[in-house]
Amino acid sequence: MRNVFGRKYNVHTKFDLKGSTVARVASEKEKNKEVPTLKDNDFLEMNEKLNLPEETRRQLLEMLADDTAWLSKMHLMDYSLLLGIHDCERAAEEAAKRPVEHVSEESGDELCPTPPDSPLPSTGAFPPISGGPDLDDEYYAIASHPDAPKKLIYFIGLVDILTYYGVKKRTATAAKTVKYGSDAENISTVKPDQAGLLFMLS
Distance, in Å, from the CA atom of 154 to the CA atom of 92, rounded to the nearest integer, reads 17
Distance, in Å, from the CA atom of 36 to the CA atom of 85, rounded to the nearest integer, reads 12
Q: At residue 76, what are phi and psi to the nearest 5 degrees?
A: -105, 120
CB 116 within 8 A of CB 88: no
Please give the average per-residue pLDDT across 3-9, as a whole number.
Answer: 74
Distance, in Å, from the CA atom of 129 to the CA atom of 97, rounded to the nearest integer, reads 28
Distance, in Å, from the CA atom of 164 to the CA atom of 180, rounded to the nearest integer, reads 23
Q: Is the pLDDT reported for residue 74 higher than 70?
A: yes
Distance, in Å, from the CA atom of 95 to the CA atom of 92, rounded to the nearest integer, reads 5
pTM recorded for the entire structure: 0.66
Distance, in Å, from the CA atom of 85 to the CA atom of 13, rounded to the nearest integer, reads 5
**Does 13-201 carry CATH code 3.40.640.10?**
no
Residue type, 51: N
Residue 130 binned pLDDT confidence (cut-offs 50, 70, 90): very low
Residue 133 binned pLDDT confidence (cut-offs 50, 70, 90): low
Q: Strand runs (DSSP E) across 55-197, as ranges? A: 80-87, 141-143, 152-159
Q: Is the pLDDT reported for residue 137 higher than 80?
A: no
Tell me the pLDDT of the chain averaged across its residues. 71
Q: Is the pLDDT reported for residue 192 higher than 80?
A: no
Q: Where are the alpha helices (DSSP H) in 87-166?
A: 88-97, 105-111
Residue-level pLDDT at 115:
36
Domain regions of the chain by residue span: 13-201
Instruction: Provide the pairing of β-strand 37-38 with 13-17.
Output: parallel
